Amino acid sequence: MRDAPRDEPDEELSVTPPKKWAAGIPAVTHALGYSLEETSVERTARTLLTINQVDGVDCPGCAWPDPSPGQRHRNEYCENGAKHINDEATLRRVTADFFRQHPISELARHSDLWLNQQGRLTEPMVKRPDSDHYEPISWRDALGLVSEELKSLGSPDEAAFYTSGRVSNEAAFVLQLFARAFGTNNLPDCSNMCHESSGFALHETLGTGKGTVSLHDLHHADLIFLVGQNPGTNHPRQLSALEEAKANGARIIAVNPLPEAGLLRFKNPQRPRGVIGRGVSIADRFLHIRGGGDLALFQALNRLLLEAEEERLGAVLDHEFIRANTSGFEEFAQHVRRISWDEIIAATGLDRAEIEAVRDEVLRHERVIVCWAMGVTQHKHGVATIREIVNFLMMRGNLGRAGTGACPVRGHSNVQGDRTMGIWEQMPDDFLDAIQREFGFDPPRAHGLDSVNTIRAMHEGRIKVFLGVAGNFVRAVPDSAVAEDAIRNCRLTAHISTKLNRSHTVCGRTALILPTLGRTERDIQQDGAQFVTVEDSSSEVHVSQGRLQPASTLLLSEVAILCRLARRTLDRRTPDIPWDEFESDYGTIRDRIANVIPGFHDFNRRVVRPGGIRLPNPVNEGVFPTPAGKALFTCNAWHMPEIPEGHLLLQTLRSHDQWNTIPYTENDRYRGVHGRRRVILVNPDDLTDLGLAGGERVDLVSVWEDGVDRRAEDFEVVSYPTTRGCAAAYYPETNVLLPLASVADISNQPTAKAMLVRLERTGTGSANGSSSHRR
């Protein structure tokens, strides 16, 4: 199975040394450069000034929380947020004429970058069976086609409804209600591939799947760990919070196989001295860890803390917290005492002295926060790693107090809110009971399919109709070749989208493009102008309202599309669900959310107040809603992948110039890579061992127990200061390498940060390793 290069402009690759700092003037000018290319000056200025303001539009870039209303900067956005906004506000349009000119088979050969650059989708389109073209269709007929296919299914479980985390609370609530009233829990979402491991680990140990940290906590922590995340690119506004924490005296420890620019220094573009000066250094300590070594690191720290307690009885552990709030401490302590330093050093690639120095920092500080993202969750033992982080926090009572806590840094701007609204294939009974009480139908109880299992079911012909609400399912999921076959096996696929992407070109026998309003645009319904709400990483729910004129007069909002589809599909089966009323006034959806979901009482009134609503986190009130009523210490084992000679452990990540599956340019400025995305970053000593040099062309071949030849062709080797044995390449071009079966234990999340690969010189078919191995 291959993923060959598509028509990317094959510029010369140029490589410069990785940057040692993030943001500052280049970031501002890059954002404006991109803005001005994509849209008119006036639209740019208008959108940028409303981003993350109290009455403005929530930045679709990431889920980082906003400061309190009085403390927001006039430019409360980052370079990358500005790019995402402008990517949506572009003046380019994909029209019916475009689809007449480009058959689907041709579109399928274009790159992700090219497809996105064509601009905004403008009218509903259909691909009929046996046709190679999309052609225009009315909204009525388009929704009629989807609802007829849904109604013709043998069982509601033959349909799947995918959501990407950009979808608002209101649309998400309507979607899950529709799916459940239709009769299925098949609600796969991007979160299955993102923080699923965090959700499982936190839920099991603390009784709640969400992070416990607010911006205020971050500002007042005295020690912050940044584990497996690249904030300079993916959460740039987090750097401002870290800068403030540092001004208040905090120390920061970064843990990463890559010395990322944003972890090293930060020049705050929102402050004059940030633009001019050298900026602040972010990480006081950088642990250049081996991929997947974080569980061993935290277990080692936990063991060192236990030993320190033995030397200074009562001075190290928070016995009161452990006694009052937790269970399982003794078993945990016994387990941790048994691990050996040889194993820890092999797993982490760190020295014992480095880890002891971190222990000393931990002992010196009273308020500790651990932040993490995909570098932790996308491993086979991702859930176990997060459980160990929870152990670490609990030992010294670093939970539930100001300035402490667990901080899974969420990705999509409303990925957390979508889960709160019930987008999950495994919602618990209390949620389903509340739906039943409120809407008078009995929702299905059997768990539905997640993203990985949806692909499997499509492949086997068990899923026949697929509706994607935002996102780019075929590019986000693993095993691209398998996923493409699976999707082509569907009777009907339909996507509610703002922009063209590969999921429109790899489609079912009948396929629909249902174009929708973006977040930046005015949403006028029968009862007047509407706003939507979103929830950020710190559980704050607030309003988002677009101001721009919609990209086309034919666009419908996500809520309108879903309500109309639900009404047509469910006929009179759900008389108690007022789909029409929901469509004309989103406030009526929020009233129902208030009745169904805890924490949302009086939603409509409270959410419009400046700053919105902060949903309570029980942990911060000293309550741990696990079955035992206590937080759990757990015993965790790691499975470090063996890296046989001639192989590398490959992580797949985001460049500085992409938004998930969508590259904006071929550059990755902070890492010094320009003009080409098909590159693999390899440690110079590994290159010597492999007999390769920077600039050579190689195919990446993944190694998996099923023996299938999964290959990504023609990558250029870049010598890069990544940890020995650990290479990195961009997603989604590398998803072809990731077997569907390679998932995290418990969470079923694809292990996108740990694939075993070997490199073969392109065109020779020969393993580089055989002749030129020089270990």
Contact positions vs ligand MGD (CB under 6 A): 61-62, 80, 164, 166, 190, 193-194, 227-230, 233-235, 255-258, 260, 289, 291-292, 294, 373-375, 411-412, 469-473, 476, 496-499, 501, 516, 518-519, 558, 651-654, 658-662, 731, 734-735, 738, 752-753
Contact 516, 497 (CB under 8 A): yes
* Alpha-carbon span 24 to 236, nearest angstrom: 11
Q: Of 112 and 686, which has the nearer Cβ to Mo ion?
A: 112
Do residues 117 and 7 make contact, with C-beta atoms less than 8 angstroms apart? Answer: no
* Number of residues forming the site for Mo ion (CB under 5 A): 2
Residue 402 and residue 424: Cα distance in Å, rounded? Answer: 31
Return the number of the residue (400 or 422) whose C-beta is nearest ligand MGD: 422
| Residue 255 binds which entry of Mo ion, ligand MGD, none, CB below 5-8 Å type-dependent | ligand MGD
- Closer Cβ to ligand MGD, 258 or 596, answer by number: 258
Query: How many residues does this entry show for the chain?
Result: 775
Which of 194, 300, 556, 594 is the binder for Mo ion (CB under 5 A)?
194
Q: How far is the CB of 474 from ligand MGD (least distance, A)?
A: 9
Report, in Å, the least distance between residue 572 CB and ligand MGD.
28
- Among Mo ion, ligand MGD, none, the one that 473 touches (CB under a kind-dependent 5 to 8 A) is ligand MGD
- Which residue reads 């010294």 in tokens? 396
CB 372 within 8 A of CB 409: yes
* Residue 683 interacting partner from ligand MGD, Mo ion, none (CB closer than 5 to 8 Å by kind): none
Residue ranges in 361-420 that form contacts with Mo ion under rule CB under 5 A? 411
Q: In the complex with ligand MGD, which residue's Cβ is closer, 391 or 413? A: 413
209 binds, among Mo ion, ligand MGD, none (CB under 5 to 8 A by kind): none
In the complex, the smallest distance separating the C-beta of residue 497 from ligand MGD, rounded to whole angstroms, is 4
Answer yes or no: are the C-beta atoms of 196 and 748 closer than 8 Å.
Answer: yes
Within 8 A by CB and 6+ apart from 84, the residues are 59, 60, 61, 659
**DSSP per-residue string spanning 595-663:** HHSTT-TTHHHHHTSTT-EEPP-GGGGT---STTSSEE-------PPP--TT-EEEEEE--TTEETTEE
Nearer to ligand MGD, 115 or 126 (CB): 115
- Contacted entry of ligand MGD, Mo ion, none for residue 61, CB cut-off 5 to 8 Å set by kind: ligand MGD
- Minimum distance of Mo ion from residue 191's CB (angstroms): 7
Cβ atoms of 587 and 523 within 8 Å: the answer is: no
CB of residue 350 to ligand MGD, shortest distance in Å: 11
State the nearest-atom distance from the C-beta of 724 to ligand MGD, in Å.
13
The Cα-based distances of 774 to 245, 601, 645, 647 in angstroms read 47, 66, 10, 13
Nearer to ligand MGD, 579 or 731 (CB): 731
Is 230 or 634 the residue whose CB approaches ligand MGD more closely?
230
For the CB of residue 82, give the shortest distance to ligand MGD in the complex, in Å. Answer: 10
Q: Which is nearer to Mo ion, 411 or 732 (CB)?
A: 411
Contacted by 454, from Mo ion, ligand MGD, none: CB < 5 to 8 Å by type? none
Q: Binding of Mo ion at residue 468 (CB under 5 A)?
A: no
Distances (CA, A) of 37 to 10, 32, 40, 86, 448: 21, 8, 8, 9, 43
752 binds, among Mo ion, ligand MGD, none (CB under 5 to 8 A by kind): ligand MGD
Pick the closer one to ligand MGD by CB: 613 or 738. Answer: 738
Q: What is the largest CA-CA distance in the chain?
A: 77
Residue 494 near residue 467 (C-beta atoms within 8 A) = yes
Residue 470 CB, shortest distance to Mo ion, in Å, is: 12
Q: Quick one: what does residue 735 bind among ligand MGD, Mo ion, none, with the CB cut-off 5 to 8 Å set by partner type?
A: ligand MGD
What's the closest the beta carbon of residue 606 comes to ligand MGD, in angstroms?
Answer: 25
Question: How far apart (Å, rounded) are the C-alpha atoms in residues 385 and 392?
Answer: 10
Tell which residue, 402, 398, 197, has the closest CA to residue 302.
398
For Mo ion, what does the binding mask look like between residues 80 and 119, x meaning CB under 5 A? ----------------------------------------
Q: Which is closer to ligand MGD, CB of 318 or CB of 535?
A: 535
The smaller minimum CB distance to Mo ion, of residues 19 and 502, is found at 502
**175 Cβ contact list (under 8 Å, min separation 6):** 161, 163, 167, 187, 423, 469, 562
Residue 130 has a CB neighbour count (10 Å cut-off) of 7
Alpha helix locations (H) across 287-425?
Answer: 294-311, 319-325, 329-337, 341-348, 352-364, 374-377, 382-395, 415-420
CB of 233 to ligand MGD, least distance (A): 5
Binding-site partner at residue 147 among Mo ion, ligand MGD, none, CB < 5 to 8 Å by type: none
In the complex, what is the shortest distance from the CB of residue 63 to Mo ion, in angstroms, rounded to a whole number?
Answer: 9
Residue whose structure tokens are 């906590």: 217
- Beta carbon of residue 753, minimum distance to Mo ion (angstroms, whole number): 13
Q: CA-CA distance, 409 to 540, in Å (whole number)?
A: 14
Which of ligand MGD, Mo ion, none is residue 289 near (CB under 5 to 8 Å by kind)? ligand MGD
In the list Mo ion, ligand MGD, none, the entry touching 398 (Cβ below 5 to 8 angstroms by class) is none
As beta bridge partners, residue 135 has 126
Peptide bond before 732: cis, by omega within 30 degrees of 0? yes
* C-alpha span between 751 and 702 (Å, rounded): 13
CB nearer to Mo ion: give 195 or 303. 195
State the binding partner of 751 from Mo ion, ligand MGD, none, CB within 5 to 8 A by kind: none
CB of 763 to ligand MGD, least distance (A): 25
Which lies closer to ligand MGD via its Cβ, residue 268 or residue 734?
Answer: 734
Stretch that binds Mo ion, among 25-33, 75-83, 84-92, 186-194 (CB under 5 A): 186-194
* Binding-site partner at residue 125 among ligand MGD, Mo ion, none, CB < 5 to 8 Å by type: none
- Quote the least distance from Cβ 122 to ligand MGD, whole Å: 13
Distance CA(493)–CA(487), nearest Å, equals 8
8 Å CB contact between 650 and 679: no
> Rounded to the nearest whole angstrom, what is the least distance from the CB of residue 710 to ligand MGD in the complex?
12
CB of 660 to Mo ion, least distance (A): 7
CA torsion sign for 15, 16, 18, 24 is negative
Smaller CB separation from ligand MGD, 145 or 532? 532
> How far from the centroid of its chain's Cα atoms is residue 643's Cα?
27
Which stretches does DSSP call E strand in 137-199?
Answer: 159-163
Rounded to 5 degrees, φ, ψ at 145 are -60, -45
Of 560 and 698, which CB lies nearer to ligand MGD in the complex structure? 560
Among residues 194 and 283, whose Cβ is nearest to Mo ion? 194
Minimum CB distance to Mo ion, residue 195 (Å):
7
Query: Which residue's C-beta sits nearest to Mo ion?
Result: 411
Nearer to Mo ion, 60 or 411 (CB): 411
Which of 390, 282, 388, 401 is closest to 344 using CA atoms? 388
Interacting span for Mo ion (CB under 5 A) from 35-43, 192-200, 307-315, 609-617: 192-200
Kind of pairing between the strands at 465-469 and 492-497: parallel
Q: How far is CA 659 from CA 87, 257, 297, 413, 477, in A?
A: 10, 22, 30, 12, 15
- The one segment of 96-104, 188-196, 284-292, 361-369 that binds Mo ion by CB under 5 A: 188-196
Q: Applying CB under 5 A, which residues contact Mo ion? A: 194, 411
